[in-house]
Amino acid sequence: MYAIIADGGRQYRLEKGTEFKLDRLGQKKGEKLSLDQVLLVADGDNVKVGAPTVAGAAVEVEVLDEVKDEKLIAFTYRRRKHNSKRKRGHRQRHTLVKVTNIKG
């Protein structure tokens, strides 16, 4: 059984027991959440497609940790100018969650 959910402008294909990263939710470690933006639920040959979401379907997840992505470097400069370079770093925060149950 798997489900496709929408979160933060992206779609994720999830199965029970899968770990994945969502945009930062601000939840504490060990909390349980229910994601209800379920676009599709499939169980063998039985497939339910939502328009836009499947009514009554939800994916239950448990928050494992809050993690950071690898550092991205943004470097800008102007050619032939003195002292016109800028280097910035950015690390996006994510919430690591694990799927505990799929209802639908």
Q: Where are the domains of the chain?
A: 2-66+94-103
- Quick one: which of 58, 71, 68, 67 has its CA closest to 97? 67
What pTM value is reported for the model? 0.80
- Quick one: which of 104, 92, 29 has its CA closest to 62? 29
Q: In sequence order, what are the residues at sequence separation of 6 or more whose Cβ sits closer than 8 angstroms to the Cβ of residue 85?
A: 75, 76, 77
- Encode the chain (104 residues) as per-residue pLDDT tens digits: 999 999 989 999 999 999 999 999 999 999 999 999 999 999 989 999 999 999 999 999 999 999 999 999 999 999 999 889 999 999 999 999 999 999 98
